[in-house]
Amino acid sequence: MKTLGQYSLSAFLKFIIYASWYIQLFFLVLLTVLLTISFIAKDNIQSDLTVRLTQSKPMAVTPAPTATNINNVTLKLNAGELYFTQDKSVPLVIYNLGVMWIGFAISLGITNLLRKIFDSLTDNNPFVIENAQRLRQIALLIILIAPLTFMRDLFLNWYLRQNFVIDGSVIQTHLTLDFKTVFIGLILLIIAEIFRIGTRLKEEQELTV
């Protein structure tokens, strides 16, 4: 099976990556419009948080005394999801849109870099210095996911503790850092460096008479 050039595996994957790029752009615009309309049209927002529970016994989740404008709290034990409605506010809008845009920005950034890499693969020219730089940028974006996710979880944990109680008691929350994602990013950094060395070797070989 041909892996590089026209009508190859890389050409097939390039098609998928290009499709993914346009689909992501479409959903970014669509979700931004829908969220904005939702915030403008409704007085309160239906939200859901995915929570990981350390106990499987039924428990009553209610708004905390410090909660502001939280209503209709429901915990779906099997799905690990907490549903509630909240009066809309500017910080809520900013948080939701911000999280969505940052997520899409990283995803679109990685997809765009992959598009350019696969353009060079279908041209049968993988060892160019730009590809080494793109791989490095992808690695850094992947590594960035872990601390951003950690910060989001830090905020959500605080939000849970501030606004909800389980069986009348304050919720105990835990935080973990996604080392797996960081590890993958570091491996990709090494691969980017190997690519850079390969590009240099190719250039030397081409300029050897």
Count of residues interacting with another protein (CB under 8 A): 5
User: Which is closer to another protein, CB of 55 or CB of 205?
Assistant: 205
| Of 87, 130, 167, 203, the one binding another protein by CB under 8 A | 203
User: Which is closer to another protein, CB of 43 or CB of 206?
Assistant: 206
Between CA 82 and CA 61 the distance in angstroms is 9
User: Which is closer to another protein, CB of 41 or CB of 209?
Assistant: 209
Stretch that binds another protein, among 6-14, 64-72, 91-99, 200-208 (CB under 8 A): 200-208
The answer to whether residue 198 forms part of the interface with another protein (CB under 8 A) is: no
The answer to whether residue 197 forms part of the interface with another protein (CB under 8 A) is: no
**Pattern 147-186, another protein, x by CB under 8 A:** ----------------------------------------
Between CA 204 and CA 7 the distance in angstroms is 29
CA-based nearest residue to 39, from 77, 78, 81, 88: 88
User: Which is closer to another protein, CB of 81 or CB of 203?
Assistant: 203
Stretch that binds another protein, among 4-12, 123-131, 132-140, 201-209 (CB under 8 A): 201-209
The answer to whether residue 50 forms part of the interface with another protein (CB under 8 A) is: no
Directed axis angle between helix 90-122 and helix 129-163, to 10°?
160
- Inter-residue contact 11 to 38 (CB < 8 Å): no
Angle at 146 between CA 39 and CA 30, to 5 degrees: 30
**Which token pair is 21?**
């790029």
Q: What does DSSP say about strands 44-50 and 169-170: parallel, antiparallel, or unpaired?
A: unpaired
| Of 1, 40, 175, 207, the one binding another protein by CB under 8 A | 207
Torsion of CA 6, 193, 103, 68, to 10 degrees: 170
**Which token pair is 180?**
């797996």
Chain residues binding another protein by CB under 8 A are 203-204, 207-209
